[in-house]
Every structure is written in C-alpha cells, then in structure tokens.
Amino acid sequence: MHIHILGICGTFMGGVAALAREAGHTVTGCDAGVYPPMSDQLRALGIELIEGFGTEQLSLQPDMYVVGNVVSRQHLEDGTPKFPLMEAILDQGLPYTSGPQWLSEHVLQGRHVLAVAGTHGKTTTTSMLAWILECTGLTPGFLVGGVPLDFGVSARLGQQATGQERPLFVIEADEYDTAFFDKRSKFVHYRPRTAVLNNLEFDHADIFADLAAIERQFHHLIRTVPASGRVVFNGIEQALVRVLHQGCWSEQRSFGAAVSDFTAEGVHHAFDVMQQGKKVGRVEWALSGEHNQLNALAAIAAAEHVGVSPAVAAEALGRFHNVKRRMELCGSVAGIAVYDDFAHHPTAIRTTLDGLRQRVGQQQRILAVFEPRSNTMKLGTMKAQLPWSLKEADLAFCHTAGLDWNAAQALTDLGEAAFTSDNVDTVVAQVMEHVRPGDQIVCMSNGGFAGIHGKLLAALQYKFATA
C-alpha cells in the first residue's frame, strides 16, 4: 500500500510513518516548514517529504491519504484554502483516513495494546513501560510522543504475531482530537486491553469546554477495554475517580494514594514498591520528583497485567534513561547547567521545577525560561496559575511572542523576579544579565523555542569562558 501523510512531521504522524515504512508500505508525506528532528528521522528511513500542501501532490496517486490533525478546512483572508490538497481530496472523492484510524486497522489489530493516557507524564510512562517489557525479552512494539533514550526511535513494530499469541504494543494515548472530520480523542481508536490513566486535569482549552468534557472522553476509552483487560489509575486524582464512577467493566488496579494497590515508600530516587502493603520490588535510578515515582508505579502495574512481576519491572526501571526533552541536559558552562524540558502546562512546569529543587536543594538558584506556546496557554486560559507554577524558580524569564494576553501582568506576583520579552535574543540577554556560576537554567516549551538552548550555552561560554 502507498500512503501519503498530510502533516507528517508531527511526532505522532511521524511515528505512524515509521511504522508503516517498517511494515513494508510505501510512504510519502508533506508538511509546512518540513522540520527536524522528525524530518531527519523520516529521511533516514527513505521517506520522501514534500514542503507544503499543494495539489500537485495528487500526481503521487497513493492508495490512501492519511490526514493529521494539523489539517483543517480553514481559508486564508483572501479566500484561498490553507490546505488546498485536502480540498482537492474532498472534491475528487479520494480515499482518506486519520492517523489513529489507519494505525488501528493496520498495526494494532490483533495485538495486546497497552495504552497510556493522562494530562501529564504520558510520554515518560509509555517509555518506562516499553522499556520494562523490552528488558524482559517481550520485544514490544511502541509509539511514543518523544524519543526514549533507551531505544533511540519514537516508534517500532516489535514482535510479530505467532499462532494464538497476541504481540504487545505500547502506545501513548492522547486525548486531543483525531482529525478535522473526527473530533473524538485519538485514544478511542486504540482498543487497549491494558489502559493506564495517569492523571487528569483541564487542558486543550481550544477544543474542550471544561474538565467534564475531557472526563467524558476518558470514559469513552474505558468503555473499549474488555472484561479481561485492566484499567490502571491514579488513586490521587478525583477526576479519574469520577470517570470510573461512570462505569468500568474491567479489572482495576490503583496506584499513588495511601490505600492504593501499588504505593511507594522512600525518596523519589530510591524507593520500595509496595503492593497492597507488601514490598515487592525496589527502584533506584537517576530520575527525580514525585511525578516520576507515580509514573513508575503506573508502568509497574501495567506490566504486571502481561506477566511481568513488580520485582523484575522495578529492576528494569533502575536502568531506564528517560526521554529526550525531559530534563535533558544540553550542556554546562562555569558550573551553570542548561536543561531542555517539554513542560508547557502550569502543572507540568510546577512539577519540573519541584523535581529539580528536590535534587539541588536550596543552595543553587533555578532560572526558569519558558514560553506559553500550547494552544491552551496561548488562549490565556491558565495564565493565573503561572505564578504558582513558578514558585520554586528564583528567577523567571517568559518569551511572549504570539500571546494575546499580558504576560508581565500575569506574573506581577513574582515582582522583580520575573522578566518578559517577545524576542528570544532579548530573553537570552536578560538571562545573561542575572545568571551566576552554579545556577540551573531550565528551558520549558513544547516547541523548538527558536534554539534558545544553544544560544544560552554560546552566551554563557562568551561571558564566563572569556572573562
């Protein structure tokens, strides 16, 4: 089959492309501003990438157009369509489908799917679970919304079906909508036998009216889990409790809360795994923060459902190396570390900074450099939470380009510790004016942040190495 993917450079659609190519399909694709790292990965796989969404691509004559949710029916001010290729596909009645639907029909069918959902921690927990299964020789397939350092790729097919055996596939289960023609959450297409509900709070204000609307989608996911399946959920989260109270027909395992099936005892970088009050394993690793401890419990509970003992899973996590862009160290100069992190929701920002504070203590300063880039943050829906999210930062630097609300006003509670600018180079200059040896600089964005990490390291080298 020849598939042509519209919006191929997104993390999810790029993963679909890689899986299709590995399965032997012919894959081509297009995107606006074809960009790395996904463009580099796809070209390395021999996948042809085309810039833009022009109608000349109809000449490729694929068997199926696979449409990413970046594509819409939007028209520009002059009346021309923003995605002319999609308009031509509709006009000519050509075959098209969504990425999740194609994945469901051509990759996930006949597999034991382990799906990891939640507002935060999906990528990390999915990577943990895939790594546990890999360490036990189960060779899972996976699709992760990032690049796990232990695998070096975001997606692979894994072990193929043999006889009656169901090969395993671990997938990051996103609640964002599927496509412009399918407004259901992506994850309803995955039909998991093991579903992880990591946490749940309001997000994606551009498509969801309130938290209840997201809870409804999560319950749609639960409805697809068979009676022989397992739902693993965070017992601390009241929103998830409400979701389960709407009905659950599968085995349940909780984690996190004091009375949960799986709990942890000890500090975040070295803790005992407790199952119904009995020690069943121990995790010792380089990761920090309560959030990663909870992620670990979720992964251990999910792995148990496919036969991996908690003790074996805990030992495997001791060799886990996290995911790119999750507190990834970019470099250091004069004892000043520069980290890259994907955090963009206020809760994720707070969690990232809390984890770093626990690691470095009060002796080192934390400089938070961030941009409110997600659709929800651009709308200003959660601007009031920003001062709370930055509580552990000694100084905060906000890149304000593209915002329709006043970031400086939103950060007023931080007083002289907050700085704003709509220019990345100015943000770098602001940081250079205040940085001191030993500081920890955390750059947080769900985008490329205009290469600010490299710019900071170059500026630090100039300021301190040439001083």
Whole-angstrom distance, CA of residue 133 vs CA of residue 447: 30
Cα–Cα distance for residue pair 139/332, rounded to 1 Å: 36
Annotated binding-site residue numbers for ATP: 118-124
Q: Which residues are annotated as a binding site?
A: 118-124
Buried b (16+ CB within 10 A) or exposed e, 335-346: ebbbbbbbbbbb
Task: Write the CB contacts of 430 (distance below 8 Å, at least 6 apart in sequence).
Answer: 397, 419, 421
| Nearest alpha-carbon partner for 313 in 434, 138, 192 | 138
Helix spans in 27-117 (H):
38-44, 84-92, 99-103
DSSP H or E stretch at residue 311: helix 310-317
- Asked if residue 132 lies in contact with residue 124, where contact means CB atoms within 8 angstroms, the answer is no
Can you tell me the distance from the alpha carbon of 77 to that of 73, in angstroms, rounded to the nearest whole number? 13
Contact in structure between 170 and 141 (CB atoms under 8 Å)? yes
List, in sequence order, every residue forming a beta bridge with 262; answer none if it has no partner.
Answer: 255, 275
Q: Return the SS3 of 169.
A: strand
Secondary element (H or E) of residue 357: helix 346-360
Q: Which residues contact 426 (CB under 8 A, 6 or more apart)?
A: none
Residue ranges with strand state E in 260-320? 262-267, 270-275, 278-284
Tokens of 331: 């470099």
- Residue type for position 145: G
Tokens read off for 463:
């300021």
Closest CA to 260 of 242, 237, 281: 237
